Structure 1
Amino acid sequence: MRTKIIALLILIGCLPFNPLNSQNLIADPGFENWTGNLPWNPGSLSELPDWYEANGTSDYHNQSPLLQGSNLTGLEDCPTGQGNTWCGLPFEGEGVLGCWKGNGPDGSREWAGTELLEPMVAGGCYKISFWIQNKKDNPNQLLVTNQWGMFFNHTQIPFFNPNLANYATMSDHWVACEQIIDGSDWIKVEFDYQASEDFAYAYIGYMGDFSTSSYEIYNDDYLLGPYVWIDEVIVERIDPQLTLTEDLSICLGESVTLEAASNFPINWEDTNNGLTSRTVSPEQTTTYYVQTLDSTLCSVRDSIVVTVIGDQVIDFAGVEICTGADPVNLDPNINTGNWSGIGIIEETTGLFDPAIAGVGEHIITYTSDTDCAENFTMNVEVTPPPIIDFAADLTEGCPPHPVAFYDLSPQAGIMYNWDFGNGLASTEPDSASTIYTAQGSYDVTLEVIFSENCKTQQTIESMVEIFDPPQAEFTTYPANPSTLSPEVLFTDASTGIITEWFWDFGNGDTSDKSSDGTVYPDPGIFDVLLKVTSVNGCQDSIIHQVQVQSIVNFYVPNVFSPNDDGIHDLFEIYTVGPLENYKMTVFNRWGGIVFQSKDISSPWDGNLPNGDKAETGVYTYSIEYTYKGFTPSESFSGVKMGDIMVLR
């Protein structure tokens, strides 16, 4: 008997077996880092540097003797079966965490939180465990439940109300035990968890929806509820690696040595042993499965396929191929030997091209170059390809133009490949559609696959014609109309052979002429639409904004009579157009200021600053102003001057 040995000594040296090299991500797993300053026992978590109250008020118990500055009562062992929550001993060390779950679906729950020593790796596998002890162990007054576990999150405090949340929607954040935690003994719970995100914080306590839990509650008083102690919390990442011998082939009667290397314990599933090397001699092609760890989500499973080449004559069924098929390996499982015959284009692989062979029956011969294979012949029949045909509904139009195509082939295929000529494709059977967005003439191709070894295609040249669309454009005159010059002329400047026009000037007026005008009596910004239609019926439209400015005008009298007769007693200024700033100054003939106002609604009453009446005569005024445009760049400032006569 011959034996093939595949060695992996280098790989085995690179993957030492050390499953305990993982780091616990919990900074204080046993609740031992206590400052010693708690005022009573049990106390809050405020004196635990690495833990905090994430929800509710979790308890901290410690069995250390009294320390200076502390009046903690040391914990001691207590009788079981009496429901005591204040006595007992930690699983390990001197500290322990106490968590309560209130009675009922909306009962409160106490969570302790901690920041992980390093964030989790999204997709990484983690082993989670902690020890838990039921403290409501009175068999006559049971308050026990399952679903004690851990929740992983990005924030220090939960972003939701843990007492009322729907945990089914956050199933990738938490794990919890299915076992009801009852009795009086410490119980270790373990979980496998695959992190969905790079969580940085962990909470521990009662998890999940109350409706899915299993529990025993002797009384429905909402003040009652299960209470547990928790100790020695571990969250460790595991990253199992597995390297195997590659798949191989042997002759019938030969044996081969298979190798497996991993940084965790391995198991060959067919023999249930953990050897890293084994010798096998299968009588038929066999797949050997190897697994690291156990059957959890964090384990790795791989296989080695040992292909056995028998000594018997291989009986091949005839293979039917059509001339439109791609070249095909007549038997991809055979990788040594020589192939010959019409249509063989690769002698070592048996790649057969039906287009070269042509229609008809062909005898293909295979000669093995191993001592365990037999020569054989294969009858390959090449048939003409089935006829295919297709049509379309609307083969010409303006972009964007949708076109639907229909398969009219007499024989149905199993797969369709449409090439619409516009860079897009489809695999829809029977019918497909696309949208042509640019002018041009397009060839369309349909390929129909009838079987694994039979396909054909047809191309219809220039099947779709898309017209050149017009490009709408127009000009305006004047470029800057105003309320003093409100008439605007619009002229078509579109490209293409235009046959129809439609104008909407934005002021209620429309037109169907190539060029037309309208009047804007009021200032404002108007959207002007031009829609054009070309000789092929293609349309395009464009919108430009026309801004009609408001020009400021002043209406200033040249005389007024401040004699209190009710007629022209005030020197009042009127304007048309919006102003931002205004300042009017009146001077006497010597240049002295007799009146000044920054409010256009405060006119001059003919009195001097000292209250005396201005004498009859001619005075000079100066009006400084800033016109408020539609935009800051359109605003401007100016000065208007003139004379005003005072009559008494």
Structure 2
Amino acid sequence: MPAFLRWWLCLTGILFLSAHTYAQTLQPYILNGSATQRTCNCYVLTEEVDNASGTVWNKNKINLSQSFNYVFDINLGCKDESGADGIGFILQTQGTNLGSSGQGLGFKGISPSLGVLIDTWHNANENDPAFDHIAIQMNGISDHLDATGNLTPALQVIDGKDNIEDCNWHLLRINWNASTHLLEVSVDNEVRFSITKDLVNDIFHGDPMVYWGFAGSTGGSSNLQQFCAALRPDFAFSSGQILCDGTPVSFSDNSSSFGVITRRWWDLGDGTTSTAIQPPPHLYAGPGSYEVKMVIEDNSGCISDTLRSPVTIGSYPVVDFGPEEFCITGSPLKIGDSSRVDVGTKARWEWDFGNGAVSSAQNATIPYTAPGRYNVELEVTTREGCSTTGSKTIDMFQTPLTAAAGRNACIGEPVELEGSNLTPGVSIAHWYWALGNGDTARTRQVSYTYAAGGSYTARLHAVSTDGCPTAAVETDVEVVDLQLHAGSDTVVAKGQPLQLNARATGSNLQYTWMPSTGMDNPYIANPVAYLQKDQEYHVTVTSPEGCRDEDVIAVKAYTGPEFYVPNAFTPNNDGRNDLFRVTAAGIPKLDFLRVWDRWGKIIFQTADVSTAWDGTFNGQPAGPGTYVWMVQGVDYLGRRFSRQGTVTLIR
């Protein structure tokens, strides 16, 4: 027993034991079969055993000429697939020792009678639906297709749920209006059936005095099946009640009871107690969470469990929101609530933007599209009903538009970049360039020298004096690096045509070779030259942008066609005479160059005239000594030409 209830009982001189004994002495029910009393107002119809039957009948008949509104808690057990069979609320005139096991639920065969049957087993022979169902039937008939016994179709006990064997307690209400003959059956405060029938004359042959009670049964499957004469403490707040600091709170009794509630005990959570039906309006000392307790007693002397319900007395919000400055961009702009509530939970927001636009979102969209100063109001309301309104002035600024331009440059010369303000009425405070290579600049005009040629995308954004950043704009610039290469130094047979081939990066380039000695055209990239002596050519290339580059190629002219082969080399990596190579004057195509040691083993060979022997074999230095070589190729006239000899490797 809760301490505050013991306090109340001691104060009034009533002992709980005496009340409990009184309730047992005045026990109004007769129990049959497996039925047992669990608590003062609760009864077990069947334990979880097979082939059981239990009935609980009120020993006092009721008069159906008078209205009643009976409220019960029912529990059909926890076994769904293997649980059975169900319970029924029954009105009958046959006595208080009735009941049966199995699918009849203790109702089958009792006539005259009316039963509100909650069936949890699918009996095909009784045309049961597959789900747990409820129906109103009469005269002990439980077959759902028997037209003489069915007053309603079989429905789910709880709308949308197939299973009532869910371990939970459910509220069953039987409401009879004697004047209108309206019988209403509700489960968990949802009406399942509402029928109009003259129970006295149509069922009980003019006799209004009937017994009432509960029956339950099991067969080859079982469940723990119970009911209680409802004794549910509950309270509600008056309509429009706010639970805010400084506002008195009004409590209303909303309890459910089978009998008449005779006494109530309240503890409002701050030391205040009451035995009134509803306590007077109560002012809590300050915001916070309080646990309200409530206990009720009915006219049978039964005392309910203690209802414990937390009640939050909220504090009023301290309204704040932001930001207070916005930049008009053409995209939706959000203003957000940042209000503080010390006790309670923010639940509702009402924005008023002063121009007819309102919003109930926590973070609202700004409706303004023109620069200016505007007044905004926000009302924040908590779940507890506490409301505060705050206002601020916000500024809307125009966001500038910018453009970027750049001028191409030759490698080594600066690229010129320039930003422009396309909204002269908005001043720019800062310019920011990203130059496309990781470097940045912070002036409107930039002169920047890129380290390498290529294409670069420079990005520009700016910030106005009001702090509004522009959208980024881009400009592409080209740094021209011609990378001219005249070709590798080479040899040629005197009088042999030499194809020159200069290469550069770019298009529409202009070439100039100097001197033009022996050339067929000194103004193209690939002229042909005929030489009688050594010559060094300088080539210059010019791009359409005016960029220039120069390179040099040296050509040695030999009498030929001929192979020029050294007779010794020293591969000691001193940079002088380290390689054995063949100079093929007038012989553009090499068939092979081979080198043998003194035992006739090939230790080097190649078909590339530019490849030389470095004096190694299989990655290891070859020994000093004399080696035999042979070279063969095709001269520029298409004739095969060869030479052989020896070379001395000196270490």
TM-score normalised to structure 2 length: 0.30
TM-score (normalised: structure 1) = 0.30
